[in-house]
Amino acid sequence: MSISHLIIDSPIGDLLLTADGGALTALDMEPLPERPKTPAGNPVLTAARKQLERYFAGRLMQFDLPLAPAGSPFAQQVWLELQQIPFGQTVTYADLAQLVGRPGHFRAVGSANGRNPISIIVPCHRVVGSNGSLTGYSGGVERKRWLLDHESESRPD
């Protein structure tokens, strides 16, 4: 397949989108890894850019893109469950462990959550500590807070 990249501006900094053929494989945040810039002729990248623009404008609550994140079967299961967390809502790591059928394995769930290669679109930022704390986020806790505040303010009544 052909790997394509596209860097887009966002309210939380530059985002690097990566697609392999017809599916999105990664969304990286600043500081961005060194990768060659390639033309943005990939339709998946174009669709992802448009949907992210609508998300950041408060006009999109659920992404509809073909995704192909690389990970173990357990991580894939966690990432699928993340996509079921409604816009503007949060769950705890313990809740997520229960949802994937692994009660008590919240550390393993947290580890899989932290390896999510398609953040924002696969909303790992919606997972919080059992006391509601904003524990770790690969993009930084400040970005996690921004995303949660954005969703809370954008959520329809």
Told to judge if 124 belongs to the known catalytic residues of this protein, a careful annotator would answer yes
d(CA 49, CA 52): 5
Beta carbons of 42 and 49 less than 8 angstroms apart: no
The C-alpha R_g of the chain, in whole angstroms, comes to: 15
Q: In this structure, what token pair is assigned to residue 57? A: 């404008």
In sequence order, what are the residues at sequence separation of 6 or more whose Cβ sits closer than 8 angstroms to the Cβ of residue 50?
none
Identified catalytic residue from 6, 85, 109, 124: 124
d(CA 4, CA 23): 10
Cα-flanking dihedrals φ and ψ of residue 138, to 5°?
A: -60, -25
Beta carbons of 112 and 79 less than 8 angstroms apart: yes
- Hey, which residues are catalytic here? 124
